[in-house]
Amino acid sequence: MRKDGLFIAVEVDDAVAADTELAKKLTDACPVDIYAQQTDGTLELVEKNLDECVLCRLCLDVVESDPAHPVHVIKLYEDGAEL
């Protein structure tokens, strides 16, 4: 799943989005509410909050133990550079 704002895009591996435990961790970690949980517990990306990203890396810390890097924060203003 991926959502794009004006300055920031967030891409999350579908397996992570379906994992209710990881969805909760991402939702709890983000200080600007980019991540939310749907009624079934799966992850939702809140498009209106994407450009509020403060590049804190907390969402990346939640999934850092996964070598596949299932969460990507993309700086659209830097030609798609990843955080």
pLDDT of residue 64: 84
pLDDT of residue 65: 78
Answer whether 44's CB lies under 8 Å from 36's CB.
yes
Could you give the number of structural domains in the chain? 1
pLDDT of residue 41: 96
pLDDT of residue 7: 96
8: domain CATH number is: 3.30.70.20
Look up the domain containing 69 and give its range. Answer: 2-82
Residues of the chain with pLDDT below 50 are: none
pLDDT of residue 58: 95
**Residue 18: how many other CB atoms lie within 10 Å:** 15
